[in-house]
Structure 1
Amino acid sequence: MCGTLFTRLSSCLGKKICSLFAKSAFFKIWFLPVWCLLGVSKVFILRIKFFRMEKFLGRKLGESVLVPLLDSKQKSRAIQVGHVVRVVSNYTPWKSNCFPQALTALLILRLYRVPYLLSFGLRRCASTGDCQAHVWLVAGPVCVTGGYGFSSYAMVGCYLSPHINIDSIESKNC
């Protein structure tokens, strides 16, 4: 009995290790830092009041949506960041749902200067009547974390990358 259990565990662990070695260099480099950042993000969310957190998220747009354009290098980086954050979130002993994932990805995108839009949304569950909140992060056409919630959730707030000059965009639209 113990022999078969040990064989199954070692086989499963072996598959996971082989799977890790098959991943890209970007994934291997970021695996442990992302795992740690997911934990820090979770603590940050639980301990810091949202109004204090807001200035960290980016430039507040309210309910308006302004998805930044990306060049091919930024798009590729956003895809890589989203992949590593989503996969690593499955390996944390704590619940790494949409908000910690979005904060972690936001940090990495900022590091690489990839423009992003962080969105908060609400919807009412039809069966229970309860409100459900969701956070998602997009970079150009890439859904980095949380899927593409624009059609499923009522927008309650958006935050744009702080390094994007929105003033020049607004003056062109007027």
Structure 2
Amino acid sequence: MPGKLSRFQSLDAADKWFLLRATWLLGCARLAILTRPFKRLVASLEHLPQPVPAAEPSAEQLQAASRMGYLVAVAANHTPWQSTCLAQVLVLQRLLAAQGIPGQFYLGVRRGCERSADPTGLSAHAWLQCGAQIVNGGAGHEAFTVVSTFRWGASHG
């Protein structure tokens, strides 16, 4: 614990504030996932049944999105509750949208996962992308088949 505390204390004030905010929002997202229908959680987003090319953010937006994605993942690893990939993506999407950074997130499934809690062997994953770069949930996403895409931000043609 002293190592984690000293690492936190070594962060700049903006990152400390972001981590605290992300932790709070992850708790809110966890509660929302447990108590609300998924359709309500994504009601403000454009649903695309098939993946489409993502809007390209500016270099500054992409750098900010990458940093925010990293910090949300760090916060998720330190919550006393389960902060799933879906909770992380929902939190990060809202934070990015508030900054005017366009992006999209994907929901995918795969069959045959030995660690799946589902008796059918299905497992699910969510990951978030800004432009061509995955900024949260990228590890292992290739093994999942995209079943839905949700986007926000810059208009698409």
- What is the TM-score normalised by the length of structure 1? 0.80
Where do 5+ consecutive residues of structure 2 fail to align?
A: none
Give the aligned partner of residue 112 of structure 1: 99
Are 1:165 and 2:152 an aligned pair?
no
Computed over aligned residues only, the root mean square deviation of the Cα atoms, in angstroms, reads 1.9
Whether the 8 Å CA contact 1:102–1:137 is kept in 2: the answer is: yes
Are 1:89 and 2:76 an aligned pair?
yes
Q: Which amino acid aligns with 1:43?
A: L
Higher radius of gyration, 1 or 2: 1
Are 1:40 and 2:21 an aligned pair?
no
Q: Identify the match of residue 123 of structure 2 among 132, 138, 143.
A: 132
Point out 4+ residue stretches in structure 1 off by more than 6 angstroms. none
Give the Cα–Cα distance (whole angstroms) in 1 for the partners of residues 20 and 80 of structure 2.
Answer: 14
Where do 5+ consecutive residues of structure 1 fail to align?
A: 1-11, 170-174
Give the number of the structure whose residues are more often helix, by fraction.
Answer: 1
CA 1:126/1:40 → structure 2, altered by over 3 Å: closer, same or farther? closer
1:40 deviates by 0.4
Number of equivalent positions: 153
Are 1:77 and 2:80 an aligned pair?
no
Give the Cα–Cα distance (whole angstroms) in 2 for the partners of residues 154 and 16 of structure 1.
Answer: 36
Give the aligned partner of residue 152 of structure 1: 143
Secondary structure (helix, strand or coil) at the match of 2:56 reads coil
Give the Cα–Cα distance (whole angstroms) in 2 for the partners of residues 131 and 29 of structure 1.
Answer: 37
CA 1:108/1:125 → structure 2, altered by over 3 Å: closer, same or farther? same
- Tell which deviates more after alignment, 19-28 or 116-125: 19-28
Secondary structure (helix, strand or coil) at the match of 1:165 reads coil
Give the aligned partner of residue 5 of structure 2: 17
Whether the 8 Å CA contact 1:105–1:144 is kept in 2: the answer is: no
- What is the TM-score normalised by the length of structure 2? 0.88
Give the Cα–Cα distance (whole angstroms) in 2 for the partners of residues 97 and 46 of structure 1.
Answer: 12
1:47-81: CA deviation from partner (whole Å, max 9, x where unpaired): 1112222313x111112232221211101111111
Secondary structure (helix, strand or coil) at the match of 1:117 reads strand
